[in-house]
Chains A and B, each alone.
Chain A
Amino acid sequence: MKETHSVDLLLGIVQRLSLARDLQTIVDLVRHGARELTGADGATFILKEQDQCYYVDEDAIGPLWKGRRFPLEACVSGWTMLHHRSALIEDIYDDPRVPTEAYRPTFVKSLVMVPIRTEAPIGAIGTYWARRFRASPRQVKLLQALADSTSIALENLTLYSDLSRSLAETRSARDELARQLHLRDEFISICAHELKTPLTPLTLQIQFLHRLLLSGPPAGAPQEDAVKSGIRKFLAISNRQISDFSKLIDNLLDASRINLGHFNFSLQNDVNLSAIIRKVIAEYQAAGFNELKASISENLRGRWDPLRLEQAMRNLISNAVKYGEKKPIEISAAPDRDGQVRVIVKDHGFGIAKEDQERIFNRFERAASMRRYGGVGLGLYITREIVQGLGGTIHVESERNQGAAFVMRLPVRPPIATHGAA
C-alpha cells in the first residue's frame, strides 16, 4: 500500500472515530480499518474484562474467536495488555506466547497485536495473515496509531455517556423540582383558601357584635333575650372556628415536622385506645353529627402516643364525615391477630377509585375535586405517618359509589425502631 494512501486512510478512520457515539460504531471502524490499513487477512477487536480478553468482533477471511473470552495470561492480546506493548509474530507455531490450540482451527499463520491505551491497556487490536508474514515497522506504527485513536474514542464514549446520563439526571431532577414547586404553589393557594374559610364567619360575627354595641339592634330586631341568645350562639361559632383554625395550623406544622424528620412520638404504657376513639366520636356527636355508629371493644390498650392516636382518629373520622355524603359512618375497633388491634372507619360516600387509593396518602394529594371539597390534603398523610410511626399499617378499601373503609392495624407495642420515638 502506498504511503500517502495509508495515511489518508488512517486520517479518515481517526476522523470517523472522533464522531463515534456508540461502541458498535467504534468496533466496526476498528475491525475494518485495521484490516485495510495493514492489508491483513483478518482483524479482531478485543476488550479487557477484569482478567479476561473478550473478543468483541472481527473482520476476517475465516472465523476467528468472536464472542469468546480467554484468560489474560493465555493469549497474545492478554500478553500485549499485560506488557503494555505490541507483539509481532511471524510464525505463530514458533512463539511461546501463542496458545496454538486456539489457533489451529483458524487460518492464521502470522499476526501483529497492539494494545489500546498503552499506559493502562483497556483492549487490543489484532491483525492476522494466512501466510508467514513479517509486518513492517511502519505497519505496526500505523496500527498503533489506530489503537491510540481508538483509545481516545473509547474515552470520549465514556465521557459522552456519562454526560448524557448526567444531563438526563439533571433534567429529571429539574422536572421533579418543577413538580414539587407546582405542588407547593398549589398547596399555598389551597392553604390561603382554607385559612380564609374560618375567617369569614369570624369576621362577620365580630363585626356584628361591634355594630350591635355601637348602634344597638336594628328596628324590628328580636327582643333582648333573643339578642343575648344570638350573641351566645355567635361566640360558640367563633370558638369553633378558632379551633378549626388552630387544627389547620397544627396540620401544617406537622407536615413541616414530617418533612424535616422531626415528627416525634411520646410513647406511654397502657394507653386506652377504646377511650380515645369514644372521646373523638363524642366530640363529633356533640357537634351534631349523629350518624356515627360505633362498635368498640373494651380495653384496647397498648404502648402508644395517646395524642398522636387521637389525632389519627380525628383525621379519619373527619374525613369520613366530609366525604360520607351525610350517610351513616361505622367505626369499629377490635383485637386483631398477632397482638395487633384493628380500627376501621367506614363511610358510605362516593368512594375512592382504585388508582387513587395509594395516592391519597401522599402529601397535598386528594382524590376529590378541589372545586367541591376544601381541605389541604394533609389529614391522611399525617395519619399514615402516625400509624407507621407506631409500627402499624393503614390502607383503604373502596369501590366507586360504595363508600370507603380505612383500615388501620396497630401493634400493641411498637417495634423498638419506631422513628422519632422519644
Chain B
Amino acid sequence: MTATRLQTKHHTASCNHLLLIEDERDIRESVREILEFEGFQVLEAANGREGLEILKKVPNPCLILLDLMMPVMDGWQFAQALSNDTNSQAVPVILVTAFAEKANTIPCAGVLKKPYDIDHLLSHVKRHCRGEGADQ
C-alpha cells in the first residue's frame, strides 16, 4: 500500500501515541491495556466528537483507530470532519467495525474487522507508529 507507506513516512518513527475512538468501554480498556503493555500511549475517545476535541490538543497521533457505529458523532461523520482538518488530515485511520462491507465508503489505511485478534491490532499499530513491517 503506497499511500500507507507515504503516510507512515509523514509521521516520525518516534511517534508513540495513538487515538482510539470507540464507544464500547470494554473494548477501549482492553485495547489500551494491550497497547500500553507494548509501550504505546493511548488517547481515548468515546465518540467522534470527543475524538475531534482530542485532535485539537494533540493534532498528530501516529494513528487513529476508528469505530464506525457510535452515538453523538459516528465514524462516517468523524472521517468527514477529519478530511477537512488541515492539521490532522494526514494521520492514517484504521477502521474498526463488525460490518467490514460498510467500511469501503471511507478512505482509510486499513480495516480491522471485529472481533479482531491481537496480532492484527499490533501489526497495524506497529506498522504505522514504528514503521515495522511496512513492506509486508
- A residues in contact (CB < 8 Å) with B: 192-193, 196-205, 207-208, 211, 217-218, 220-222, 230, 233-234, 237, 240-241, 325, 368, 370-374
Contact = CB atoms under 8 A, between A and B. Distances in A.
A233 B33 contact: yes
Interface in B4-39: 24, 26-27, 29-31, 33-34, 36-39
A211 B118 contact: yes
B98 to A, nearest CB: 4
Contact of B26 (A201, A208, A217, A373): A201
Contacts of A193: 69, 98-99
Given A201-B27, A371-B74, A217 B37 contact: yes
Given A205-B30, A230-B37, A233-B33, A374 B114 contact: no
B114 A197 contact: yes
A395 to B, nearest CB: 24
B118 A204 contact: yes
Interface string B99-120: 1000000000000001111110
> Binding site of A, secondary structure by majority: helix, strand, loop or mixed?
helix
Given A203-B115, A241-B26, A371 B72 contact: no
Among B24, B37, B70, B116, max chain A CB count under 10 A is at: B37
A268 B74 CA distance: 45
A93 B95 CA distance: 98
A221 B29 contact: no
Contacts of A196: 98, 114-115
Contacts of B37: 208, 217-218, 221-222, 230
B121 interface: yes
A8 B114 CA distance: 80
B115 A200 contact: yes
A234 B27 CA distance: 11
Contacts, number: 86
Going nearest first, the 5 A-B pairs with the smallest beta carbon separation are A199-B115, A207-B118, A201-B30, A200-B115, A203-B115
Contacts of A233: 29, 33
A204 B34 CA distance: 8
A202 B99 CA distance: 18
Interface residues of B, number: 28
A204 B96 CA distance: 14
A205 B118 CA distance: 8
A220 B98 CA distance: 32
Contacts of A241: 26
Nearest to B116: A200
Nearest to A206: B118
B29 A237 contact: yes
Contacts of B71: 325, 368, 372-373
A325 B46 CA distance: 11
Nearest to A198: B26
22 contacts: A193-B99, A196-B98, A196-B114, A196-B115, A197-B27, A198-B26, A200-B24, A200-B116, A203-B115, A203-B116, A203-B118, A204-B31, A205-B30, A207-B117, A208-B37, A211-B118, A221-B37, A237-B26, A372-B70, A372-B71, A372-B74, A374-B69
B63 interface: no
B56 to A, nearest CB: 20
A234 B33 contact: yes
